[in-house]
Structure 1
Amino acid sequence: MLSILDKYILKKYLGTFGLLLLLFVPIGIIVHLAEKIDKILENEVPFPIVAKYFLDFTIYFADLLFPLFLFLSVIWFTSKLANNTEVIAFLSSGVSFYRFLRPYMIGATIVCLIALASGMYFAPTASKGFNEFKYKYLKKGKRDRDQTNVFRQINDNDYIYASYFNVKEKSGSNFTLEHFEGNEMKYKLSANRIKYNPQDSTYSLFNYSKRIVGAHDDSIETKKRLDTVFDFEMEDLTPVDYIAETLNVVELNKFIAREKARGSSYINRYEVVRYKRYSLPVSAYILTIIAVAVSSIKRRGGMGVNLAIGIGIGMVFIFFDKIFGTMAEQSNFSPFIATWFPNFVFAILAIYLLKNAKR
């Protein structure tokens, strides 16, 4: 059963967090709208589509920055409790500091579960709408970019390679397909150029040759052009950068497993997205403890000092999260370590601050 103290703090915890979201998310929408309104008007985007975009932006923005909002909200209302000597009154009544933390941990659990559900299912849908609108109306094709050395395993037996691929034109150069049965190559297709035909889902191969490996000798077939079908699509070979953000947890796990089998070079980027869906909700506990430890002490400068300290710590947390995430995406650094390392460092800081706050 929750005591009066638990209900009081829990109400403050969730109420202040919700209020901060209601205050800052509309500000983010207004700033974003002011920045993009000229392109929206230029492209004559219908109002329902714009409204849907800003709904997706709201969910995307809140999911991205909820740790900072939570951290600042806890510092805000706990500082008010400290300035009103309510914290001293609670602790003087015989309540231990750990018992004082209990409603905060209950609140952190509620926020963690909501953030977990949002990151697994709701935020991916919002991210898909947000990114599709951005690249369709605001960036006008900037999503399309050329790629070099595209390599994929498209099934258990077939491997393909293209030295250069133009995403916008759906064509590539120096294309090869190698078919294996066990450890033996059975045939190899080659073409100077390959082009995908979206109208009938076929492929055109130019200066095509097929080498069939025989037991004693090989046979070679050549054509100037061959129209054929393959068991893959160009979008599967060169998925957009944000694809992992738009998939729910089940779809993302299947997508990563398929991309690993294909030999994708972007596995770390996808893994970072997957691990962040777990690490960011867990950060609610760590940031709550740090915020309580920092703001439960009545300081000479009042609430402003606590908020300044809180904003500084929050920015360092976001900095760590972005730096290590980018490091994992751009190198062979472990995505698991990159996404959980900020939590580990700040967990140590939380323990240290908690011990000092008890005194």
Structure 2
Amino acid sequence: MKIIDLYIIKKYLGTFGFMLGLLSIIVLVIDVQAKAPRIESNGFKVSEFLVNFYPFWIINLIITFMSILVFISVIFFTSKIANNTEIVAIISSGASFHRFARPYLMTSGLIAIAALLINHFVLPLANIKKNELEPYTYSTKSREEFLGNAEVATQLSKTEYIFIKSYNKKNKGGSGFMYQKFDKKKNLIYQFNAADFYWDKDKKHFVMSNYLEKTFLKNDKEKLGSGNTINKKFGLPPEELFPDVLLGQNKTTPDLVKFINREKEKGNANLNTYLNELHQRTSMPFSVIILTFLGLSLSSQKKRGGLGMNLAIGITLAFVFVFSFEVLKVVSENKSISPLLAMWLPNIIFGPVALFLYFKRANQ
């Protein structure tokens, strides 16, 4: 059986590699053509993006659609060998269907392990590069919503808050800054206001202009202070103090776990976006194994309609599977379901279905 194992592994990896390359080339060409006018209108050259953006964008694309590619690849090559009656010959030689499925398990397991490592440690580093330039591929309105001025409110701890009237994420500065600190009884004990501010990345502190600070003492007394400029530190850089939805994508899993725990200690309850990112990094690779056995079960018998019918069923199921992740993300972010359950629910549903169909096929 070792010869047959190697034959199936080569078929699996060969078809998967071909699908991977084909999807990457087609989507890359379409995306570059669609976004070239926006890239050039923002003062960049398309060649710059081909070097500094698209290689990292492709990594993200591959990981996003890996489950679909695996599923379609398994259905494609398994349907071909089933139509050539090769599976019948292998089973007739005395091998069980479980033994025939062993190389599928081995290969899908290797791909899942590779996907786990990429998801947790490589993809975040690629996302840092991708997310730096991605706003410049958006429409003018979407780019301004992402990079333009906006109001900000953040919680530093259970007793400390920052409110900003106008903050520019690109320039890391703004106007209308207010910091408040409360005691355990929720009484305001200190307030700092500044007309304008910016982040000094070299000295790693905020530079505040035209500031006024109040310390609230006992007996309704106040201690006032003011000046033209003052330097302030709040323990973290702007990216951490005022996180956006992309921050979770940019952190390796150990750093993401630290960030989530720190935000929980601060009392931040709006963490589902980051928790979705954390749990999906593990659940998506596991789906590779589930979809491999689902694809094997659906395509290992010669059917009327042949390869075309199997591919149609496979593509439909694969897109339902991946699309369900995106729907459940939205549901989870609205706090209708926990992030852990949301990111594992497709596997929880499709896993038993794959096992049922697999054992049904094995017992035929």
**Scaled by the length of structure 2, what TM-score is found?**
0.87
Q: Secondary structure at the match of 1:105?
A: helix
Moved more, 241-250 or 270-279: 241-250
Structure 1 residues 206-217: aligned runs within 5 Å:
208-214=212-218
How much has 1:46 moved relative to structure 2?
Answer: 7.0
What is the alpha-carbon distance in structure 2 between the residues aligned to residue 46 and residue 316 of structure 1? 34
What is the alpha-carbon distance in structure 2 between the residues aligned to residue 39 and residue 149 of structure 1? 28
Given residue 176 of structure 1, which amino acid in structure 2 is its aligned partner?
Answer: Y
1:159 corresponds in structure 2 to: 160
How much has 1:75 moved relative to structure 2?
Answer: 0.3
> Gaps (5+ residues) in structure 2?
none
Structure 1 residues 190-339: aligned runs within 5 Å:
190-191=192-193, 194-199=195-200, 201-204=205-208, 208-214=212-218, 218-221=221-224, 223=226, 227-231=230-234, 232-331=236-335, 333-339=337-343
Q: 1:329 to 1:293 in 2, by over 3 A?
A: same
Q: Determine if contact 2:212/2:225 at 8 Å carries over to the other structure.
A: yes
What is the alpha-carbon distance in structure 1 between the residues aligned to residue 265 and residue 45 of structure 2? 40
1:115 corresponds in structure 2 to: 115
Q: Determine if contact 2:294/2:358 at 8 Å carries over to the other structure.
A: yes
How much has 1:30 moved relative to structure 2?
Answer: 0.4
2:52 corresponds in structure 1 to: 52
Q: Secondary structure at the match of 1:242?
A: coil
Q: Determine if contact 1:196/1:203 at 8 Å carries over to the other structure.
A: yes
What is the alpha-carbon distance in structure 2 between the residues aligned to residue 202 and residue 81 of structure 1? 65
What is the alpha-carbon distance in structure 1 between the residues aligned to residue 128 and residue 139 of structure 2? 15
How much has 1:331 moved relative to structure 2?
Answer: 2.3
Q: Determine if contact 1:149/1:163 at 8 Å carries over to the other structure.
A: yes
Match of 1:189 among 158, 169, 191: 191
Q: 1:126 to 1:228 in 2, by over 3 A?
A: closer
RMSD: 2.7
How much has 1:287 moved relative to structure 2?
Answer: 0.3
1:93-113 CA-partner distances (Å, limit 9, x unpaired): 222221111110000111001
Structure 1 residues 344-359: aligned runs within 5 Å:
344-358=348-362, 359=364
2:181 corresponds in structure 1 to: 178
Q: 1:194 to 1:78 in 2, by over 3 A?
A: farther
Q: Determine if contact 1:167/1:238 at 8 Å carries over to the other structure.
A: no
Q: How many residues align?
A: 353
Q: Determine if contact 1:194/1:203 at 8 Å carries over to the other structure.
A: no
Q: Determine if contact 1:268/1:332 at 8 Å carries over to the other structure.
A: no
Task: List, as ranges, runs of 4+ consecutive aligned residues in structure 1 with deviation greater than 6 Å.
Answer: 182-186
What is the alpha-carbon distance in structure 2 between the residues aligned to residue 328 and residue 41 of structure 1? 37
Q: 1:271 to 1:147 in 2, by over 3 A?
A: farther
**Scaled by the length of structure 1, what TM-score is found?**
0.88
1:101 corresponds in structure 2 to: 101
Q: Determine if contact 1:151/1:263 at 8 Å carries over to the other structure.
A: no
Q: Secondary structure at the match of 2:301?
A: coil
How much has 1:174 moved relative to structure 2?
Answer: 7.2
What is the alpha-carbon distance in structure 2 between the residues aligned to residue 58 and residue 158 of structure 1? 43
What is the alpha-carbon distance in structure 1 between the residues aligned to residue 244 and residue 136 of structure 2? 13
1:41 corresponds in structure 2 to: 40
Q: Determine if contact 2:135/2:147 at 8 Å carries over to the other structure.
A: no
Given residue 7 of structure 1, which amino acid in structure 2 is its aligned partner?
Answer: L
What is the alpha-carbon distance in structure 2 between the residues aligned to residue 103 and residue 194 of structure 1? 66
Q: Note if 1:30 corresponds to 2:29.
A: yes
Q: Secondary structure at the match of 1:198?
A: strand
1:55-92 CA-partner distances (Å, limit 9, x unpaired): 11221111111100010000000000110011111112
1:155-200 CA-partner distances (Å, limit 9, x unpaired): xx861132744335733547232165x7797931143x55322357
How much has 1:224 moved relative to structure 2?
Answer: 7.5
What is the alpha-carbon distance in structure 2 between the residues aligned to residue 124 and residue 54 of structure 1? 15
